[in-house]
Amino acid sequence: MPGSSRGARLVATLASALLLFTTAAACGSDDDSGSDAAGADKSASANSAFPVTLAHKYGNTTVKSEPKRIVTVGLTDQDAVLALGKVPVGTTEWLGGYKGAIGPWAADKLGSGKTPTVLKDTGTGPQTEKIAGLRPDLILAVYGGLTKDQYTTLSKFAPVVAQPKQYNDFGVPWQQQTEIIGKALGQESAAKDLVKGVESDFATAAKDNPEFAESTGVMATPYEGIFVFGSQDSRSRVLTDLGFKLPTDLDKVIGDKFGANISKERTDLLNTGTAVWIVGDRAKDEAKLHKNALYGDLDVVKQGREVFVEETSDYGNSVSFVSVLSLPYMLERLVPQLAAAVDGDTATKVTEPTS
């Protein structure tokens, strides 16, 4: 994204995770980090759920007993683990800036557990040696894009739960992500309860704002032009879960990806009830977008129906993270902006959250 290295990472990190990586040898470690933040009663209950088998893109994985040392390769998988009372020994950094790759919406779930070791994917795939050194007994890659070779290599160290095959890579809905991880941890029922709680938040927001169901919306970012997120991206699902409809031709233009840059000829996709922009610099990016005649002359601009989200803020990060823990935090801030955008009064200003 122009003027924002983190904007580029927002899109490029997801894309780079699809690349093959060179198989590396495992190394040992005496790191004893990691903690079960729940008590013994929860552990006893969880143990009764094992063994458990989970289907995914590359077959089936069986988890024989309650995992104690969990590494999350999926970019947002740590939140579901934390929400279920466990602290991963390793997490994979996506947005950056957070100790242990744990956002402020999830920090209180760390409890007395040791801050996870943060792994990085610089475009060559998961850090195999570091993952092996953490001595995991479960590797979660649910919100991810592991290749078959990556999956095979990681499976040498521990059972690996890869992305589900019925969705695009990085396309698993947060509900299914939470439930898959819950099943892997022996807490399937608890995971479903967590999902119901957040879905209730969405239902309340939709009920309180019936105009959402009468509107269309789209999520986009000015990365290398205009990058629009498709229906299988978690950000777009936030809009549809609130009642919005996506542009009719969106997936036809994007194809089988979580999102894509659109041509000048398809700028019309942005002429919706509201356009939600994830930007690096509100003033600069807004001005640049509005100078583009193909976009600046659209009704969504002229009628003040845009929503701008600063990507480097905690709020901006929560919009992209889309997890069982980040969503309530995000909804408190996004819903008022959306309501202002689609209230039918062009004089209503869409203001940014104060915190």
**Structure tokens, 261:** 């840059």
| Residue 97: burial class (beta carbons within 10 Å; 0-12, 13-18, 19+) | exposed
Cβ-contact 213, 338 below 8 angstroms: no
CA–CA distance, 39 with 35 (Å, rounded to integer): 11
CA–CA distance, 63 with 208 (Å, rounded to integer): 42
Q: Which of 290, 327, 328 is nearest to 308 (CA)?
A: 290
CA–CA distance, 286 with 280 (Å, rounded to integer): 10
Q: What is the pLDDT along the chain (355 residues), one digit of tens a residue?
A: 333 334 544 554 444 443 333 333 333 333 444 444 444 455 555 568 899 999 999 999 999 999 999 999 999 999 999 999 999 999 999 988 899 999 999 999 998 889 999 999 877 889 999 999 999 999 999 999 999 999 999 999 999 999 999 998 998 999 999 999 999 999 999 999 999 999 999 999 999 999 999 999 999 999 989 999 999 888 999 999 999 999 999 999 988 888 999 999 999 999 999 999 999 999 999 999 999 999 999 999 999 999 999 998 999 999 989 999 999 999 999 999 999 999 999 899 999 887 7
Strand order in the sheet with 259-261: 259-261, 227-229, 217-221, 274-279, 306-310
DSSP 8-state class, residue 245: B
Task: Look up the pTM and report it.
Answer: 0.83
